[in-house]
Homo-oligomer: A and B are copies of this chain.
């Protein structure tokens, strides 16, 4: 497995692989690799003969510097994980490799960046879109793979690639979960035992509302109330948002559902009952289909 630190070297490698008839899949990550990332690596392996992973904690997508500084990092362990899982190449640049001096160029996907996490984290998705554009231009992959846990991020990346015409196929990989249903996330390590136990509230809220929809409930407000009610049972949880939205446009779902609808959750968890430490922000989502009822 190769480790590349510089964008220019990566581009030359991409050109050589392409000239040799190989196909490249890129899995962009911020490191702290877990089984969720590895499922994306597996998906990549099923699609191309060159599997590349980028590891870069992107400063421009963090709202607080403390969150950026505190983001879990262990490059050596991540590189070892990649090696053990058949990754062909790791691109792990320094910040200056992707953000040159006097960098002043931003990629903005406007409408899709406004609601949900975009409303709570100003500039977050501008940072995401910009760094993903840079990573795609550096690695020149045929396919790039992102987890569906970050649903809005994936929607924004698909739209950016389509709008700008970047010649790459974007694939989403399904959410991986712990045995109790908690979605895998690099942030889960920050949860104390009590918070970890209560964090199952997110997936159970999604489960509950999916069942309500399956049993015929079509009122958006009733379903939102059901999401909030289940989250409210976790004393360490503070709801950031719990919303029903159109999975394509991310606009608010209609009052009476019909067709596919995105259930989107973001919850700030206290790390433990003492209240010490910054809260841990967890997100989860699911797309359910409100099948039109018989007339």
- Which residues of A come within 8 Å of B, CB atoms? 7, 11, 15, 18-19, 98-100, 102-112, 129-130, 133-134, 137-138, 140, 159-160, 162-167, 249
Contacts and interface: CB of A to CB of B under 8 A. Distances in A.
A107 B107 contact: yes
Contact of A164 (B11, B112, B137, B249): B137
Given A137-B165, A164-B133, A164-B134, A105 B107 contact: yes
A105 B163 contact: yes
B104 A134 contact: no
B100 A162 contact: yes
Contacts of A160: 105
Copies in the complex: 2
23 contacts: A7-B165, A18-B19, A100-B163, A102-B249, A104-B109, A104-B110, A104-B111, A104-B112, A104-B159, A104-B163, A105-B109, A105-B129, A105-B163, A105-B164, A106-B110, A107-B107, A107-B108, A130-B164, A133-B164, A137-B164, A137-B167, A138-B165, A140-B167
B111 A137 contact: no
Given A137-B167, A138-B165, A106 B107 contact: yes
